[in-house]
Amino acid sequence: MDDPDRVSAEMDKLSVMHAFRRIVERGSFARAADDLGVSAALLSRQVKLLEQSFGTTLLTRTTRSMSLTEAGQIYYDEAARILDNVAAVENRIRDGAGAVRGHLKVNASTSFGQTVIAPVLPSFLDAYPDLRLTLSLDDRVVDMVEGGFDVSIRIRPAMPDSALVTRKIGLMRQRIYAAPAYLERAGVPGKPDDIVNHRVIGFLLADHLTTWTLHGPLDAITLDLDPPVRVGNSLVLRDLLIAGQGIGTLTDFVSNEAVARGELVRVLPDYELPAPEIFAVTASRLGMDAKVTAFLDHLRAALRG
């Protein structure tokens, strides 16, 4: 029969490993303490006791920075491997039992979060009542590990090579739009080159802010532009277009409702920009667990619908 004190000690070791890993990945005792719901003083004591047990320093700390020693790097790498293996076993057991629980932390762009994710959240939460959810909306690319996110939804023409794991979950169309009132006032472009004579509203975070590559029936045409108005949020861009402020590009999940209401119309309907893809991004160490899988399955169903 197992010794209860020995079992408790082993569980404490896993807890300390988890705390140490979080401190390293968050780069701060205070941020790690917030994530774990404990005090920074407690984490500091745990690390000190851990260092005493090994007889060596694992973290070098100053008032402004923190870094791993060689021994600390070895402990971090092995602790992360052990914790990931334990998590994988637990997830396999939970998956087999059909259990989706725990705390799911999701990051997405503001426009995608408001127009696509938010409407499906009620049915998702109803399906998994034991799940805690944090949804963070940010139009800039965030650090997955530092932010402590399980999954980030990113919309890009392609994802750069990195240590992150990316999965394509959908495709968006990117087209040119303007309000009927603006086109009546400024004229309807008949060919791509006409765009340069119009007031272009640009999306600051887009790869095509100043260069539009338009794919048409026969070939691709590249336009060099200098948008006089530039915004960092595609919902704001959409609203400016609806208000008749100019011409701009929108993905279909942002433009669909405005088009259906007649507030926006397509410009140069035979042309569109390269279609951005929807990627689900996870940190390579974290992988895909039951709660991430459940969320992405729910999101895929919404995108197909």
Which of these, 290, 291, 285, 295, lies nearest to 18 by C-alpha position? 285
* Whole-Å CA distances, 168 to 111, 144, 252, 276, 281: 18, 17, 17, 11, 9
pLDDT attached to residue 1:
40
Q: Which helix (H) or strand (E) holds 222?
A: strand 220-224
Structure confidence at residue 265 as a pLDDT band (50, 70, 90): very high
- Beta partners for 154? 279
Residues 75-129: tens digit of each pLDDT: 988 988 888 888 777 766 655 545 678 889 999 988 899 999 999 999 999 999 9
pLDDT attached to residue 94:
58
Domains of the chain: 4-95 (1.10.10.10), 100-170+277-304 (3.40.190.10), 174-266 (3.40.190.10)
pLDDT attached to residue 60:
87
pLDDT attached to residue 13:
81
pLDDT attached to residue 305:
62
Query: Above 70 in pLDDT, residue 232?
Result: yes
How deeply is 205 buried, as exposed, middle or buried, from its count of CB atoms within 10 A (0-12, 13-18, 19+)?
Answer: middle
Best-predicted range by mean pLDDT (149-153, 216-220, 270-274, 277-281): 270-274
Three-class SS state of 224: strand
85 in Cβ contact with 14 (< 8 Å): no
Query: Above 90 in pLDDT, residue 222?
Result: yes
Mean pLDDT for the chain? 85
